[in-house]
Amino acid sequence: MPHFILDCSENILKLQEPRKVLEAVFETAFSTGLFDRDDIKVRLNPFKHSLVQSAEADFIHVFGNIMEGRTEEQKSDLSYAIVATLTTLFPKVPIISMNIRNFEQATYCNKSMI
């Protein structure tokens, strides 16, 4: 925890190396001080087909899934930092966005808890 899942147009993979994008999001998330390095997970899902701005425009959307307990300001700062990082990597991509969802402590389970 946390999980950062990037949905993007397939063309994004031609604009930057996927590993560079994953590492940029990872390092940005770590730099906020909200998460331990070993807890951060980042994945990228390229889409061959999409409809963005009534066309096949490039896009990146990050779904941030984090454990509840962070303030609205912390979550806002996290979103801003990751979108700013991606905007630097992809200045010509018209849509770069992010949202954050909370995991509930009461219903969360992982392998180490079994």
* pLDDT tens digits along 49-99: 988 877 788 999 999 999 999 999 999 999 999 999 999 999 999 999 999
What is the pLDDT of the chain when averaged over all its residues?
95
Burial of 32-60, coded b for 16+ CB within 10 Å and e otherwise, reads eebbeeeebebebeeeeebeeeeeeebbb
DSSP type of residue 17: -
Q: What is the pLDDT of residue 54?
A: 79
Collect all residues with Cβ–Cβ distance below 8 Å to 30 and sequence separation of at least 6.
37, 40
Main-chain dihedrals φ then ψ at residue 33, nearest 5 degrees: 80, 5
Q: What is the pLDDT of residue 59?
A: 97
**For the whole model, what pTM was predicted?**
0.93
Q: What distance in Å separates the CA atoms of residue 51 and residue 60, rounded to the nearest whole number?
A: 13
Q: What distance in Å separates the CA atoms of residue 105 and residue 88, rounded to the nearest whole number?
A: 34
Q: What is the pLDDT of residue 1?
A: 84
Q: What is the pLDDT of residue 80?
A: 98
